[in-house]
Structure 1
Amino acid sequence: MRLALPDLDAMDALGARIADKLRPGDVVALSGTLGTGKTTLARAILAALGHEGEVPSPTYTIIETYDALRVPLVHADFYRLDDPSEVDELGLDDYREGAALLAEWPDHAGGFAHEAGCLSIALEKVGEGREAVVTPGANWQSRWP
């Protein structure tokens, strides 16, 4: 499914739509080239889940956790990983227990599309706006129209 995201309001609306359907154990895998809006969409999801305040990009910390939300969330940016095996060293599975995962650059971590709870979103620049190509995993089929 392709969704037009002509402006920030559309990005915020997509973030709210995802947050409304998000459950512990889910993965929202955000891919796209630099500057396509992965972190912007992540911030919109976090805001819709009830986070107030700044949302730093986890580019350097790799993992940021948000426990006091409607759905606890782990926000990870795997851009700096050189090999997917480095995910084991981060202890990602421990962070994910009882939480949803918001993964930027999921391919650098080996990908998550094979997981039934994965909602894959590929962001692309289209003119002045963006477009999202959304691919729901099996557990998202009934939640994502």
Structure 2
Amino acid sequence: MKQVLADEQAMAAFGAALAASVTEGGVIFLRGDLGMGKTTLSRGVLRGCGHTGSVKSPTYTLVEPYDTPSGPVFHFDLYRLSDPEELEYLGIRDYFTEQALCLIEWPDKGDGVLPSPDLEIQIELSGTGRSLLLTPVTQKGQAMVDNLSNTTTELAGDD
């Protein structure tokens, strides 16, 4: 599924729609260069899960936990990770439960330690907006995409 979003507001709205598409926890890899909107998308997901407090980028902490009305959400930013084995010291495996939604920015930095994703989202520039390519990896990821496809047409901007 490809989605073109016009601006930051559309990215946050798409994140909220993505949150609504999740019926149980899952693992979502967020890929894209610096400044593409991975954290903005994550903020939208958290808002969609009912989180009302601040959402900060976990660039220095590696993970920020959120207890939302929709269940636990863990937002990872692995940009500053120098060795995937560092994730073992974080107790990384404890985060990946059936109920938890795990959003992982820079997943390549955790190769060999992270579980496979349910859904991968590649974010790239598209004019002044962003283009998102959603690739489901599991049946759970496919269900997310199927649920999204009916709710996101109003978010699209001009190509």
Q: TM-score, normalised by structure 1?
A: 0.89
- When residues 43 and 89 of structure 1 are mapped into structure 2, their CA distance, relative to the original with a 3 A threshold, is same
User: What is aligned with 2:102?
Assistant: 101
CA contact (8 A) 1:22 1:71 kept: no
> Does residue 79 of structure 1 match 2:79?
yes
Give the unaligned 5+ runs of structure 2.
Answer: 147-159
- Does residue 144 of structure 1 match 2:115? no
Which runs of structure 2 are paired with 1:29-108 in the superposition (5 Å)? 29-97=29-97, 98-108=99-109
Change (3 A) 1:111 1:6: farther
Asked whether the 8 Å contact 1:28–1:103 carries over to 2, the reply is yes
Runs of 4+ in 1 over 4 A off after TM superposition: 111-114
1:22-51, Cα deviation, whole Å (9 max, x unpaired)? 244411111100000000000000001001
Deviates more, 1:80-89 or 1:17-26: 17-26
| Matched residue SS, 1:73 | strand
Consecutive unaligned residues of structure 1, counting only runs of 5 or more, are none
Alpha-carbon displacement from aligned partner over 1:109-144 (angstroms, at most 9, x marks no partner): 1179973x5210011112211110110122222342
CA contact (8 A) 1:29 1:121 kept: yes
Q: 1:53 to 1:77 in 2, by over 3 A?
A: same
**Partner of 2:130: helix, strand, or coil?**
strand
Do the aligned residues in 2 keep the contact of 1:71 with 1:99 (CA within 8 Å)? Answer: yes
Q: Aligned partners of 1:74, 1:57: CA distance in 2, in Å?
A: 11
Distance 1:143 1:13, change over 3 A: same
Cα distance, 1:9 vs. partner?
3.2
1:130 paired residue number = 130
CA distance in 1, matches of 2:10, 2:62: 27
User: 2:153 — aligned with what?
Assistant: none
Q: State TM-score, norm by structure 2.
A: 0.82
Higher mean C-alpha displacement, 21-30 vs 34-43: 21-30
Counterpart AA for 2:7: D
How much identity, in percent, do the aligned residues show? 44
Letter in 2 for 1:47: R
In the alignment, structure 1 residue 110 sits paired with structure 2 residue 111? yes
